[in-house]
Chains A and B, each alone.
Chain A
Amino acid sequence: MKHVYITGSSLTCALGNDKSSSVSKALSLDSDNYQSLTKVQKTGYFKITQSFSSEEEKFYSSIKNTVLEAINDAKLSKDEQKELHIFIGSTSMSISINEEQSDKYYNQNDPVMLKEIGYGNIGSYIEDIVKSIHKATIIQTACTSTANGIAYATQMIKAKKIKKALVVGIELFNKSTYNGFESLMLPSKTMTYRPFDKRSDGLILGESCSAVVLEPEKKDPNDFEVLSSAITFDNYSITGSDPEGKATFSCMQKALDNAGLLLEDITCLKAHATGSENSNLSEAKAIDTLFSSQKAKCDVIVLKPFLGHTLGSCGTSEVILLCELIKNGILPKTLNYESGYEDINFEPLKETKEVNHATILCQFIGFGGSNTALILSNEKS
């Protein structure tokens, strides 16, 4: 059986401008000092703190720095970089760049209306950074975009269709997404992110740029292996999940089946946990169903209070953050959580827990009905 490992990764987000500072900040966060992170939420967003002269510079510099950090982390030679197949996931892509230009066009009499049409050029830009000889693929499946990138890259490496892959996720602040979420009445008014808590009043969006390098051989004994994936479709509604959580349950169950594992083999389940009521309840129901059908439980991890909801890039940003926290010996407690919904028979992890290694089930859910589950492990076989 072929294996696929995350041999390098990088993360830029509200927690920090690189992976190391992001993980250090996450390790230091507690409910007591949580406001030190959330002061940036005065804008209603978990923003990257670095300053840039324009949206264009922010977008392309973030990508370049993140990609180079992941490549360095994986210690790829120039020849190895050429072999990278690139998968890019994002919900809003580079719309912030067009917004900036459009603002000048409509309000400052700038004759140019748009900076870009379509998003394929982002792939070409990353190909040039790593000198890849292969064509980049952009997958847009909303909040499952980069999770699907990891799933496809893994399957293609296992099928020997490709040798190695770079999966890049990017989500930056833009008015279209923020105003769009507001129009759907999804953002939190209290500015405290507390998914699965009965006081949860919505989500808080977040910025991130993150990348993972996937290869068929380990570089470090602690590298996480991608054991399996599953993708299912919820045809309930474009923006809402089936209240019974059937597609989410079947997604997690399929990922377990594909890995040949039972729930008792799983250290923790990283829930999607957006914070919006419909999505929370649907996913909680699915997790309940999984636990009852397998007559077992595992710890449930919630990461969005650390990062904000990083939409299409959450597949890479949340996988990286969780893997790095585990490598640092902890499973993080759920920030801001006090008490859950009635009729739900589990609670997310309430106290930080020490771990040496872990097998994790990561669930992602997106607008448009997309569900993706990934199982990763750095347990010694």
Chain B
Amino acid sequence: MYIHSSSTMLNPNRSTAEYKKLLKEISTQSFRRISKFNAMAIYGALSCLKNKNYDPSLNIYTASEYGCIQDMNKVLHQVSKKDEILMPFDFLNVNGNNVGFLVSQALGSVGNNFYITAEDFSFEKAFELAHFDLSIGMMDEALVGAVDESLEEVKDHDSFIHNLFKKPLNDASIWFHLSNIEQNSLAKIEAVHTFDCYSKTAEFLKKTKFDHIACNQFALQNKKKLGLDDSLFIDQALEPFFGTQSALCLHNLLQQNGSLGLISCDQKGRAFILQLSK
């Protein structure tokens, strides 16, 4: 199994109109009344597959930690105020899974699509599901995306999220094209490992040789417990915060060569390790 391409879009909090404008630059399709979240997702997915050959029957897995928060707040305001009427498109925009339909429509794809969430592991779970489907031959290609809006406009946002290193908040849409075909690939996916505690993860890491590693914030915070060698870390100092941050770790890791490891942990000490070679 291989990663064929990746795209990354990172911005400080931007408006829906700005993302729609960006979309117009890369697509001739009309995207009226779509949410900021959906516009970000479509832009990221189209960027990832731009000038690439892909199988239209690819499956799409969209991961998000916080979902379409801006439109959710709009809907909550509408249903709280007696004189406000909820409009169909506003309702549809807060149904997270609709993002898969819209991305699929933009790509002209006909495969299945899934919207996945898991606390602190949304991207990891989406990637794991795509990896599973590819491994059992459900399809030959997959598109895995991590989409999260900046929470800057959400009141008291810090009380809800796990921004351990108090990094600046960003909008992000990061996508990966996976395939069972080796030709023209960027990196090989050697294995996906999961562990239920730090000690088992540390034991695995002790026996496994990596040339470069990237870690999510919980793994970074617990690097001593995991026995991680500081010299293997890629530079992650300038990475901003968004819900599905480990997608950016993977994107940056792919700039390196050799044996690569994405190491993610959650707050309960469970781990997801993606082992790659490039």
Q: Report A's interface with B, CB cutoff 8 A.
A: 91, 95, 98-99, 102-103, 105-107, 112-114, 116-121, 123-124, 127, 133-142, 145, 148, 152, 155-156, 159, 161, 175-177, 179-184, 231-233, 235, 238-239, 366-370
Contact = CB atoms under 8 A, between A and B. Distances in A.
B100 interface: yes
Contact of B114 (A112, A116, A136, A139): A139
Contacts of A107: 80-81
8 contacts: A95-B94, A120-B118, A135-B270, A137-B125, A140-B115, A141-B97, A180-B86, A235-B101
Contacts of B111: 233
Contacts of A235: 101, 104-105, 110
Given A114-B155, A180-B86, A120 B97 contact: no
Nearest to A119: B117
Given A114-B155, A183-B88, A235-B101, A370 B112 contact: yes
B228 interface: no
B86 A176 contact: yes
Interface in B60-82: 64-67, 69, 72-73, 75-81
Nearest to B57: A233
Given A105-B80, A179-B86, A233-B110, A142 B95 contact: yes
Q: Which 6 A-B residue pairs are closest in the complex by CB-CB distance?
A: A180-B91, A120-B119, A133-B196, A175-B79, A102-B76, A179-B86
Nearest to A98: B76
Contacts of B100: 141, 368
Contacts of B266: 135
A370 B113 CA distance: 8
A106 B80 contact: yes
Given A117-B161, A121-B119, A369-B101, A159 B132 contact: yes
Contact of B115 (A106, A120, A141): A141
B92 interface: yes
A23 to B, nearest CB: 30
Contact of A233 (B113, B122, B270): B113
Interface in B87-146: 87-88, 90-92, 94-98, 100-102, 104-105, 110-122, 124-125, 129, 132, 135-136
Given A106-B80, A107-B80, A161-B132, A135 B125 contact: yes
Most central of A91, A98, A114, A134 by chain B CB within 10 Å = A114
Contact of B117 (A102, A112, A120, A133): A120
Contacts of A134: 194, 196, 270
A370 B115 CA distance: 11
B91 to A, nearest CB: 3
Given A133-B196, A137-B116, A156 B132 contact: yes
A203 to B, nearest CB: 15
B185 to A, nearest CB: 24
